[in-house]
Amino acid sequence: MELIALTAKEVHRLEVLSQLIEGGRTQIAAAAALALSTRQVRRLLRRYQRDGAAGLASRKRGRRPNNALDPERIARILEYCRGPYVGFGPTFAAEKLRECASRWYALSVTLIR
């Protein structure tokens, strides 16, 4: 048996869908409780019936975000920061990278930190 980690929101969905299956709620009441449309409730119900509780877990969990920067690029920029910008704080280093170089070097302050 596989252990499934669910967030509080996903657990709430599980409870509401279980009540829907048992007949304790209508689709309209379930939609209102989950702040979804009845169509989305039907879609969730099909996934729950097909995959069980795992069907309610986010499929994005554990995946790399679409807007994530390439780790090699980050390493090269941080290595560059250790060169001419060695004495700069993270905010000033980020400003200088934006000024002096192309957009290729633009990083957030928290990433430089």
What's the pLDDT tens digit per position in 2-54? 777 888 888 899 899 999 999 989 999 999 999 999 999 999 999 999 988 88
Parent domain of 99 = 71-112
Same domain membership, residue 45 and residue 13 = yes
107: confidence class by pLDDT, cuts 50, 70, 90: low
Which tokens is 46 given? 């099909």
- pLDDT for the residue 111: 61
Total domains in the fold of the chain = 2
Q: Are residues 46 and 75 in the same domain?
A: no
47 and 79 co-located in one domain: no
Would 64 be classed as within a structural domain? no
**Domain match, 52 and 78 both:** no
**Tens digits of residue pLDDT in 66-80:** 877 778 877 877 777
| Nearest Cα to Cα of residue 112 among 75, 58, 59 | 75
- Domain assignment present for 61: no
Residue of higher predicted confidence among 51 and 84: 51
Residue 1 lies in a domain: no
